[in-house]
Structure 1
Amino acid sequence: MLDADQHRVGYIQKRLAGGDTSNGVAGASWDGQTTDVGTYLPASNVGVGAVSHKMIGTTAAPDGTSAVRQTVIIDSGSDVPWVQCQPCPLLVCHPQRDPLFDPATSTTYSAVPCSSAACARLGPYRRGCSANVQCQFGFTYTDGATATGTYSSDDLTLGPYDVVRGFLFGCAHADRGSTFSFDVSGTLALGGGAQSFVQQTATQYGRVFSYCIPPSPSSLGFITLGVPPQRAALVPTFVSTPLLSSSSMPPTFYRVLLRAIIVAGRPLPVPPTVFSASSVIASTIVISRLPPTAYQALRAAFRSAMTMYRTAPPVSILDTCYDFTGVRSITLPSIALVFDGGATVNLDAAGILLQGCLAFAPTATDRMPGFIGNVQQRTLEVVYDVPGKAIRFRSAAC
């Protein structure tokens, strides 16, 4: 998991630096949780079952005659939604829990024509045409996994009253690799690119979404599409930081500026210039990455507060680990992240350790982009407000 996470981080850093990654996309990384999550919709407020970092929707006719429930990864760092479709033999496709979507049974399905604007917008994800008619899509993930098939259109149903007409997605007929070791049908891409779910549903959900990653497998989280009117009373409970944008950066990734870190009530003795690079916040990055100078100060402060516990060998990129065998209760020093604009986010205890290790790692240099991982996001409601150019946080939301 951590190795895959490191590959994904490297890919995103290369893209942000303008490197050539036109033939690849970042694979999803997870922290191992498999909890049930509710999906809250702005109009109907109907819950749809799901799994941690995953949600279930239905592809095809909203009348239910050919709708198929699909469990998909929630990925705020990718742009092209896709699911496996018939035909998709197991020799070239991965197993999934849900029935494969069969385009032949849907009266609302159509393949995207090669000559269409939608096909042109695929950009680097376009993989030519089938019989000079049907637009083809394809990815090569950072771990070598691939997904290819027909770029398609159909009605996506998220609840009895929430239907996305003419939803564009990849209908994969072949995909292999470690990225697809989970029993999911595909990915709900929530990135900032033109092909993403967020952009396609701009008129319905206003390019606003939020989620809350639960603290443990026995807890519940949620994903919200849009901002329901009844949530207005909750606004004062959120803290906000600017959502950064730049014409020189790919629109896929959401970036914020980290200003300081507070451990056990004391700010780390780190010059503000150390945090000059932006940080990508994403649902599929597991471990937060900090500038090396900041990470070393965090590690020193954390270790100083944890001297009463036995240390353990490093695990992959995690170098501050503990053996809690026989320990009945653990007292961790508090950690708070301070973002641009003064937004101070206190991490939940579940957002500090990953299997006994401090869930942070350093980037290669202080000038490289950092990352806010999904471990640190546990129990927080994270609101991506694209038109408002803000990322908002609410503590103890799930």
Structure 2
Amino acid sequence: MCKESSRIQQNDGFTRSSNTIMSSASAAGAGAAAAPGTLQVVHRSAGKHESASDHVALLHRDQFRVETIHRQHLADSGSATTAESETRLGLPFSSLEYVATIGIGTPERDLTVVLDTGSDLTWVQCQPCSSCYSQNEPMFQPRESITYEEIECADQECFMMSVGTTTCVGTSCIYSVDYGDDSFTSGYLARESITLSPNSTSSDTLTGVLFGCGALWNGGFGASRVAGILGLGQGASSVNLTANPSFYSVELTGIAVAGRSLPIAPSAFDAGTIVDSGTVVTRLPPDAYAALRAEFRRQMCGRYPVAPPIGRVLDTCYDVTGHDEVVVPSVALLFGGGARLDVDASGILLVADVSQACLAFAPNADPGSLSTIGNMQQRAHTMVFDVDGGRVDFGANGCM
């Protein structure tokens, strides 16, 4: 029998947790508490209309993103406003990321955007648009907003892009940001008002936010049909408006499976670890992943038939056909200072199909690359990115 197990249930093609694993700890650093504010966040979960091949494409884009993060981290190594977010499940969007509805402009227009702690610039598609993807909501009309103000080349904000580039077309400042899957957005850099959790009693309006009014898009992101991205990194072009490196770093020191710490040398995590809402599955150093995979397979006890891997990313998969309840060994991420994140059952297996449920962790190709804690492992936890305090906090009652 497997010990200290978590359980997940299959229900209409969506992964659900049948129990809640509670945890509350600070993952890194020390400092003052964040200022109050709320934003409702949606997990874009894969629906039953999606096939295993759809997950291959999603994870392929995810892998490109991780590789881009590794390159950006190397570049950062060479060289304040806070808000919280309230979570909800968003089934209309077929992806494995989180989204939020924000108000843009005055009067505000409610638009749904991907929540991304790994990028800085907030942008949405705008009319007129020379090349845009189809989205669920009407595009933003900047001419209808009295707070929209295009940034000119003479303005210092034109040179504040922490990630991406700017060029001049006439007097207009044009931004361009490339993403890890070879997609990109380009358009007018502007100042605009952004309201977090619009139409609620806890809404917060940020004024004069550096904002991208997208007029050109190319790449795979458009399959999500959201309006754009809310950039929550720490760079100068983020809504946090700091001059820190974009990523949120924590001190990952070990991993426990079924309550037992794995035999992983502390030096395996020397390259550092970040928490990223835009990465789907957690990436680990090769040695750490090998230890996790070996113990996870052992704990599964031959209970389910082995299934083929999903692409080149997820290699530990099982066929759970005919099982209303699937038992998996518990997994916990261990941090410096004694902090511990008990991964919810919904973040342990990625269920592409009942015939293909895979361990939602993957190895980095390079032992010297950053580890990345993905959004699947953040599920069911409240995540607080305290920029001023230099902390990442997590606790119970998060999004499923």
Q: TM-score, normalised by structure 2?
A: 0.75
Cα deviation per residue 1:2-46 (whole Å; 9 max; x = unaligned)?
11111011111112223999xxxxxxxxxxx73489xxxxxxxxx
Distance change >3 Å, CA 366–CA 286, structure 1 → 2: same
Whether the 8 Å contact between 2:187 and 2:214 is mirrored in structure 1 is: yes
1:10 aligns with 2:10: no
1:54 aligns with 2:110: no
1:303 aligns with 2:297: yes
2:213 to 171, 174, 186: 171
Distance change >3 Å, CA 14–CA 169, structure 1 → 2: same
Question: Equivalences for 1:35-74 in 2 at 5 Å?
Answer: 35=91, 53-61=98-106, 64=107, 67-74=108-115
Q: Give the structure 2 partner of residue 363 of structure 1.
A: 364
Cα deviation per residue 1:283-338 (whole Å; 9 max; x = unaligned)?
01011111111111111111111122111011121111000011232111111110
Q: Give the structure 1 partner of residue 11 of structure 2.
A: none
Q: Give the structure 2 partner of residue 347 of structure 1.
A: 343
1:183 aligns with 2:225: yes
Deviation for aligned residue 1:106: 2.1
Deviation for aligned residue 1:122: 2.0
Whether the 8 Å contact between 1:346 and 1:395 is mirrored in structure 2 is: no
Q: Which amino acid aligns with 2:105?
A: A
Distance change >3 Å, CA 365–CA 156, structure 1 → 2: closer
Deviation for aligned residue 1:353: 0.3
Distance (Å, rounded) in 2 between the aligned partners of 1:19 and 1:396? 34
- How many residue pairs match? The answer is 320
Distance (Å, rounded) in 1 between the aligned partners of 2:259 and 2:76? 39
Q: Give the structure 2 partner of residue 213 of structure 1.
A: none
Cα deviation per residue 1:327-374 (whole Å; 9 max; x = unaligned)?
232111111110111101111111100011001111123332111011
| More displaced 10-residue stretch of structure 1: 137-146 or 330-339 | 137-146
Query: 3-state SS of the aligned residue for 2:90?
Result: coil
Distance (Å, rounded) in 2 between the aligned partners of 1:19 and 1:388? 21
Distance (Å, rounded) in 1 between the aligned partners of 2:177 and 2:324? 46
1:151 aligns with 2:151: no
Q: Give the structure 1 partner of residue 248 of structure 2.
A: 254
Distance (Å, rounded) in 2 between the aligned partners of 1:95 and 1:272? 47
Q: Which amino acid aligns with 1:34?
A: G
Whether the 8 Å contact between 2:162 and 2:236 is mirrored in structure 1 is: no
Q: TM-score, normalised by structure 1?
A: 0.75
Distance (Å, rounded) in 2 between the aligned partners of 1:376 and 1:163? 30
Query: 3-state SS of the aligned residue for 2:63?
Result: helix
Whether the 8 Å contact between 1:77 and 1:282 is mirrored in structure 2 is: yes
Distance change >3 Å, CA 311–CA 175, structure 1 → 2: same
Q: Which amino acid aligns with 2:90?
A: T
Whether the 8 Å contact between 2:159 and 2:166 is mirrored in structure 1 is: no
Distance (Å, rounded) in 2 between the aligned partners of 1:109 and 1:121? 18
1:84 aligns with 2:116: no
Q: Give the structure 1 partner of residue 319 of structure 2.
A: 323
Whether the 8 Å contact between 2:97 and 2:277 is mirrored in structure 1 is: no
Distance (Å, rounded) in 2 between the aligned partners of 1:168 and 1:154? 7
Percent identity reads: 39
Deviation for aligned residue 1:276: 1.9
Q: Give the structure 2 partner of residue 97 of structure 1.
A: 136
Q: Give the structure 2 partner of residue 28 of structure 1.
A: none
Whether the 8 Å contact between 1:299 and 1:320 is mirrored in structure 2 is: yes
Distance (Å, rounded) in 2 between the aligned partners of 1:284 and 1:124? 15
Whether the 8 Å contact between 2:118 and 2:277 is mirrored in structure 1 is: yes
Whether the 8 Å contact between 2:127 and 2:215 is mirrored in structure 1 is: yes
Deviation for aligned residue 1:94: 0.7
Distance change >3 Å, CA 365–CA 127, structure 1 → 2: closer
1:137 aligns with 2:175: yes
Q: Give the structure 2 partner of residue 263 of structure 1.
A: 257
- RMSD of the TM alignment (CA)? 2.4
Query: 3-state SS of the aligned residue for 2:152?
Result: coil
Q: Which amino acid aligns with 1:103?
A: P
Structure 2 unaligned regions, length at least 5: 1-57, 79-88, 352-356
Distance change >3 Å, CA 71–CA 301, structure 1 → 2: same
Distance change >3 Å, CA 145–CA 366, structure 1 → 2: closer
- Greater relative CO, 1 or 2 (CA 8 Å, sep 6+): 2
Query: 3-state SS of the aligned residue for 1:198?
Result: coil
Distance (Å, rounded) in 1 between the aligned partners of 2:122 and 2:387? 19
Distance change >3 Å, CA 125–CA 292, structure 1 → 2: closer
Q: Give the structure 1 partner of residue 266 of structure 2.
A: 272
Whether the 8 Å contact between 1:119 and 1:126 is mirrored in structure 2 is: no
Query: 3-state SS of the aligned residue for 1:2?
Result: helix
Query: 3-state SS of the aligned residue for 2:173?
Result: strand
Deviation for aligned residue 1:163: 2.2
Whether the 8 Å contact between 2:120 and 2:235 is mirrored in structure 1 is: yes
Deviation for aligned residue 1:52: 6.4
